[in-house]
Amino acid sequence: MRGRNIKKAAYPYILWTALFVIAPMFLVMANAFSAADGSFTTANFARAFEPIYLAVMWRSVELAAVCTAICLLLGYPAAYFIARLRLKSRGALLFLVIVPMWMNFLLRTYAWLTILEKNGVINSALEFLGLPKLNLLYNSGAVVLGMVYNFLPFMILPLYTVLEKTDGTLVEAAQDLGASRAGVFFRVTLPLSLPGVLSGVTMVFMPAVTTFVESNLLGGNHFILIGNLIEQQFLTVYDWRFGSALSVILMLIILISMGAAELAGGAGEET
């Protein structure tokens, strides 16, 4: 009886998803496969595979992958460190991870402009110290920096959740059996935290591959990403069909990379 009531409570969500997630996805599909006169065509997809658009997609995946890797390298030690602290300090540090998210991310990205620009905070400091100015803004480094800055919490939080729940007795058992510190980490802690790595990678890679804000603000539009391309189709060229085809391809890219990550994660767990 109780189980049934709980299931009923899920209907609003199912309805919501059906109307606002699944139905629009079918509309995007319908758009992607239709020609200007409404007939069926695959021309939109054929166009998406022209070299110029492939280059844009490759650039997006490349930047997102770099961003995800950096987030993992920075986020894992951070999560590991926080999870090992006393309860009180943990709360404080987690709070610090979350606080920036209270502010709109567009605003935070704008803030980087003032830090990185030619007469910005960093260059003014360098000038004061008599050092040469650096070209920090409007290059791929600035775009990746912006992405890492915005998405790092999405890596730290799932990793922390998993690491915090790691059974300490397993670590102790490994130590008792004579494993070195590195051995404990690589053969016990790391394998146990793989689900966290997986969700962290997913949570960072997805927004990173679809974003168009960082490339616009910090890349000075020198770097057009697939997100910019889709925006352009809908807002300046009115080519909803090509835009939809690009969106479908983007969804496929994400599905495939998530599938690959899942497979890799699953294989890791078995060993």
Partner 1 sequence: MKKNARKPKLKITLALCALFLLSACSSLGEPRGEENPSAAPSAAKGDSDKLYIYNWGDYIDPALRARFEDETGIRVVYEEFDTNETLYAKLKPGNTSYDLIFPSDYMIEKMKKEDMLEKIDAGAIPNLKNISPRFKNMDFDPDGEYGVVYLWGTVGILYNKDMVSEPVDSWNILWDDKYAGNIYMYDSQRDSFAVALRKLGYSINSTNLDELTAAKEALIAQKPLVQAYLGDPVKDKMIGGEGALAVVFSGDAVFCMQENPALSYAIPKEGSNIWFDAMCIPKGAKNKENAEKFINFMCDPEVAAQNSEYIGFTTANEAALQLLPQELKDNPAYTAESGALDKCEVFSDLGPFIAEYDKAWTEVLASKRN
Of the candidate spans 9-17, 83-91, 147-155, 251-259, the one that interacts with partner 1 by CB under 8 A turns out to be: 9-17
Can you tell me the distance from the alpha carbon of 211 to that of 217, in angstroms, rounded to the nearest whole number? 11
Q: Binders of partner 1 among 238-267, rule CB under 8 A?
A: 238-239
C-alpha 199: how far from chain center:
10
Of the candidate residues 63, 71, 213, 217, the single one contacting partner 1 (CB under 8 A): 217
Q: How far is the CB of 123 from partner 1 (least distance, A)?
A: 10
- Tell me the number of residues near partner 1 by CB under 8 A: 46
Can you tell me the distance from the alpha carbon of 150 to that of 220, in angstroms, rounded to the nearest whole number? 18
Q: How far is the CB of 119 from partner 1 (least distance, A)?
A: 6
Q: How far is the CB of 142 from partner 1 (least distance, A)?
A: 10
Confirm if 227 and 98 have CB atoms less than 8 A apart. no
Question: Within 13 A of 184's CA, how many CA atoms are on the CB side?
Answer: 16
Can you tell me the distance from the alpha carbon of 240 to that of 3, in angstroms, rounded to the nearest whole number? 44
- Any contact of residue 106 with partner 1 (CB under 8 A)? no
Annotate 146-197 with DSSP letters as a single string.
HHHHHHHHHHHHHHHHHHHHS-HHHHHHHHHTT--HHHHIIIIIHHHHHHHH
Can you tell me the distance from the alpha carbon of 60 to that of 207, in angstroms, rounded to the nearest whole number? 11
Of the candidate residues 45, 53, 105, 185, the single one contacting partner 1 (CB under 8 A): 53
**x/- contact string, 23-52, with partner 1 (CB under 8 A)?**
x--xx--xx------x-------------x
Of the candidate residues 44, 233, 244, 257, the single one contacting partner 1 (CB under 8 A): 233
* E strand spans, the chain: none
Going 94 to 100 to 103 to 104, the CA torsion angle's sign is negative
Please tell me what DSSP assigns to residue 132.
P
Confirm if 241 and 255 have CB atoms less than 8 A apart. no
**x/- contact string, 124-163, with partner 1 (CB under 8 A)?**
-----------x-xx-------------------------
Confirm if 193 and 162 have CB atoms less than 8 A apart. yes
Q: How far is the CB of 239 from partner 1 (least distance, A)?
A: 6
- Any contact of residue 4 with partner 1 (CB under 8 A)? yes
- Any contact of residue 21 with partner 1 (CB under 8 A)? no
Q: How far is the CB of 135 from partner 1 (least distance, A)?
A: 7
Summarize as ranges the residues that interact with partner 1 (CB under 8 A): 3-4, 7-8, 11, 14-15, 18-19, 22-23, 26-27, 30-31, 38, 52-53, 55-56, 59, 113, 117-119, 135, 137-138, 216-217, 219-224, 228-229, 232-239
